[in-house]
Amino acid sequence: MQYRTPLVAFLLLIMFVVSPVITIPETSHSQLQRPSTRSVSLEFNGTSAFAYLEAQCAFGPRPPGSENLTQCGDYIISILEAQGWPVQQQNWTYEGTPLRNIIAGAAASPRLVLLAHYDTRPRADHDPDPLNQSLPILGANDGASGTAALLELAAALPDTAKNTVVLLFVDAEDSGGINGWEWIVGSTHYVNNLSGIQVAMIEAAILLDMMGDADLQIKREGSSTQSLVDALWQTAAQLGYSHIFLNILGYTLVDDHRPFLQAGIPAVDIIDFEYPYWHTLEDTPDKCSPTSLETVGRVVEQFVEEQLDAPSTFRNPLGWWIGVGFLCVLCIIVVSLGYLWYRRSSKQSS
């Protein structure tokens, strides 16, 4: 009995030290809730975003490993740094080809990830002219539009976003089925290199892909997290964009949001996949619109700024369970050691 009091005291001390890492989750990945809308002065400029789209296309087709893509990546970095965003480069080799993800933001463990792919498909395999199907595409909508929106968001979002939001430009999304390549290589590499803590901290990933179409009609992508889709579509409705963000189920796609979903992170693919120039040589800037870019950009801008004011809205329960599990294991170890200590001391005293 003489050893129980210090043992209990020691256990209470351990619980006191560990308890700060445990927070009761307010929401789960399947029950995300959107905060009440506040008035936000939106800064996203469609004309500026369209200029970023045209600047990317000026480099020409940008397949993975090409000099054009390298120059375009350097251009993206220069814009981000000019906007005051810290930039990291994630370099690796896939199938003998050097690849690079570009990661902007100061947060080692971000709450929100906004992403787009900046590469283009090496072959126009959906072009109606068979003679064109071996040629690389310019990718004004399929690649440049999402990247252009992220670059404009870099300017539109408040400085505080740099501490909680990552702008992720992924390589090698669009070479699937060519020379044995997989799809979504860059986003898969990014997610696979996140730590468990980083995965637990990311509350949502928002993918912008093929959203510059002049005839923009965005349907709900089938694999996206429904509650996150609901929240974004509600934001769009409040901004007067219900005619663009349609409450209709669209395609279910293998796209850059999938690695996040597979890691247990809520993710949404904002995409107009019913684009007649997809993977053709006709995917050029004249098929895109500053108005479309501004529509999507302002929805994302509004949504992100609301999340900055609601730190618990997308809290990931995984971190809570990690804390509980750690505490349980620690308590078992401490109790076991205390019991062994008690038994040994009892034998010595007898």
Let me know: does 202 contact 112? Beta carbons within 8 Å. Answer: yes
What is the arithmetic mean of pLDDT over 95-100? Answer: 98
Let me know the angle formed at the C-alpha of 71 by 66 and 72, rounded to the nearest 5 degrees. Answer: 95
Q: Note the pLDDT tens digit of each residue in 315-336.
A: 445 444 554 455 566 657 767 7
What's the burial of 70, exposed, middle or buried (CB within 10 Å: 0-12/13-18/19+)? middle
> pLDDT-derived band of residue 3, with 50, 70 and 90 as boundaries?
very low
What's the burial of 125, exposed, middle or buried (CB within 10 Å: 0-12/13-18/19+)? middle
* Domain boundaries along the sequence of the chain: 4-21+318-349, 46-315
For residue 17, the model assigns a pLDDT of 38
Task: Round to whole Å and give the CA distance between 227 and 27.
Answer: 11
Name the phi and psi angles at 269, rounded to 5: -110, 110
For residue 332, the model assigns a pLDDT of 79
What's the burial of 57, exposed, middle or buried (CB within 10 Å: 0-12/13-18/19+)? buried
> pLDDT-derived band of residue 310, with 50, 70 and 90 as boundaries?
confident
CA 42 vs CA 21, 37, 208: distances in Å: 36, 13, 18
For residue 276, the model assigns a pLDDT of 97
Tell whether domain 46-315 is in CATH 3.40.630.10. yes
What is the arithmetic mean of pLDDT over 106-110? Answer: 90
Q: Is the pLDDT higher at 29 or at 125?
A: 125
Q: Note the pLDDT tens digit of each residue in 171-216.
A: 999 999 999 999 999 999 999 999 999 999 999 999 999 999 999 9
What is the arithmetic mean of pLDDT over 55-79? Answer: 98
pLDDT at residue 311 above 70?
no
